[in-house]
Structure formats: C-alpha cells, structure tokens
Amino acid sequence: MPARVLNGNRIRDQILLEVEDAVKGLAAQGIRPGLAAVRVGDDPASEIYVRNKIKACEKVGIHSEHITPPASSTTEELLTLIDELNRRDEIDGILVQLPLPKHVDSARVLLAVSPRKDVDGFHPFNVGALVTKRPAPAPCTPAGLIQILKRSEILIAGKHAVVVGRSDIVGKPAAFLLLHENATVTICHSRTEDLPAVAREADILVAALGRPAFVTRDFIKPGATVLDVGINRLTDAEQVETICAGLPKKLEGFRKRGSVLVGDVNPKDVIETAGAYTPVPGGVGPLTIAMLMVNTLNAARQHRAS
C-alpha cells in the first residue's frame, strides 16, 4: 500500500480560515491585528517569502506593512526602526526577514524585537517559554509540524520521535514541541554515530538538515510518519535523474522548468517505505506562513488584553 500523503495545503487552508473567522470577531470589537515585515535589501528569495506573508495577511484580514530599508542600512539604523515598531500600538507582530546583509549584526536586530511582538518565536525570552512550556509564540515551522500531525490524527503521545537536525529555528524547537506532546524524543546531527540506525527507530521522523534527499530508505522504519522540512532547488540534470528516478512527474517538471524542488528525504524511498509523509512542495512549507498568522492573531489578543 502506498504511503499516505499529508497535504499541507489543505491543513494550511483550514488554519487560515480559522484565523480569518477570529480576525472578524476582533473586528467586531474594533480591533485589527497588525504585522510589520522588515526586508532589508533586494534579496529575490526574501522578496518572495515576504510577499507571500503579506498575501496571507490580506487573505485573513490582518493589517500588514512591508518595510524595505536599503541594503546599506546599518545595524544602528535597523535598531532604531525596530524600536519605532515596538512603540507603535497598531503593530502587534514584527517579522525581520533573514538573511540580513553581512555587515548587519543580525543577533542584535532580532534581540531588539519586543518578545511580545516576536511572531517568529526567535527571541530568547520566547525560547525560554517554549522550553518551560509557558504560553508564548513558537517558531512557525515546528508549530506547523505539530498541526500536521494533530490534524492528520497521527498519535504523538508515547511515540518515539527522531529529529534529524539541531538548528535553533527548526530542530531544537521541534524536539521540545514533540516532547510537550508526550513523545519520546531523540535529536540527531552530523556527529551522531550510525545515524540511519538511530533514525530507523522513529515512529515519527523529522528531517530538517538542509541536504537534498539525504534521508534514504535506510533511515525510515517501515510504516513511520516522515515530516520533511527541507526545501532544496536542484538544477543539475544528473543529480535530478538520480534522486527522482522512477518519479515521472518530478522529471517532467525538471525538463520543463530546468529545476525541481526536493526535500531532505529521498522522494521515491519515502513513498515506498513510510506509512505517511509530507511531500515537497506542498507539505510542511505551507504551514509556516499559516502559523505566522496564528502567532500574529495571538499577539494581538494578548496586546489588547493587557
């Protein structure tokens, strides 16, 4: 039996509809959540990411502002901008799109965002709240992973979850969120001995290491649920032919566009081995923006209640 596809687009649409209804409820009280997205410079990928976030705001009725300081902006200038946004009452959430230019002290800029307006969940205050299971915005992609599991009715409690990747943005917070759902959690990384054997113990396997198709069938316990966080654009024909062998739609897409998206999990191996999995694209990615909308909504509720 082929693996069950966990449709991230469908789950995203469910969440956005819930947020839209909640925003309408706030509007009846004269409240409109507001999100400021700061994009420094002209990085094409950042422009696409921010544009999609702004479009999501428009869809659910959240006020949004796209602020675009020049690439030459200094750390001090950006700190002044963040301070102004922290003070603005109509702005409930502040998003600083990464990466920032190399000459900017990214850590100082991110730290300057008020924890109450940190809708990315990156501020150390909110990281501490996540670790100690206190109310606070959680990083959007890991929060989306939990929603995929819950809304797909995949049991978490008591299951062994293995997270491959230990980044501050995905790997570590995903591990804590799974732990809070009563999973038994193992975090793996590049120095884990016999990584495939450890991963193969997982009932729930999270791949978040940023290496295309690195996770093969040797990593996957038959019937496991596999959540693929990776988004890798391949342009090398030989690499695509190897990774996407036996997947005619992927190969046809590459021949038309000259590139193809794959995750950190080998797409053919996961279909043949897993019990359920998130595809790339259309799996985890759509949930990231949906959870950003949730965090902005919650920030507005907390802000107006205080």
Of 120, 203, 228, 269, the catalytic one is: 120
Question: Cβ neighbours of residue 96 under 8 Å, at least 6 residues apart?
Answer: 38, 82, 109, 110, 113, 120
- In the annotation, is 97 catalytic? yes
Give CATH 3.40.50.720 domain extents, the chain.
140-285
pLDDT at 306: 63
DSSP summary character for residue 118:
B
pLDDT tens, per residue, the chain with 306 residues? 778 999 999 999 999 999 999 999 999 999 999 999 999 988 787 888 889 999 999 999 999 999 999 999 999 999 999 999 999 999 999 999 988 999 999 999 999 999 999 999 999 999 999 999 999 999 999 999 999 999 999 999 999 999 999 999 999 999 999 999 999 999 999 899 999 999 999 999 999 999 999 999 999 999 999 999 999 898 988 898 898 888 888 888 888 898 888 999 999 999 999 999 999 999 999 999 999 999 999 999 988 766
Give domain 140-285's CATH number out of 3.40.50.720, 1.10.8.60, 3.40.50.620, 3.40.50.1220. 3.40.50.720
DSSP summary character for residue 136:
S
Distances 250 to 210, 260, 261, 276 between C-alpha atoms, Å: 19, 7, 8, 19
- In the annotation, is 120 catalytic? yes
Backbone angles phi, psi at 11, to 5 degrees: -65, -40
CATH number of the domain located at residue range(s) 30-115 in this protein: 3.40.50.10860
pLDDT at 290: 96
Query: What gap in Å lies between CA 279 and CA 2, rounded to an integer?
Result: 13
Write out the DSSP string of 163-186.
EE---TTTHHHHHHHHHHTT-EEE
pLDDT at 254: 87
Residue with tokens 């990928």: 45
Nearest to 154 by CA among 204, 193, 216: 204
pTM exceeds 0.75 for this model: yes
- In the annotation, is 102 catalytic? no
Give CATH 3.40.50.10860 domain extents, the chain.
30-115
pLDDT at 16: 97
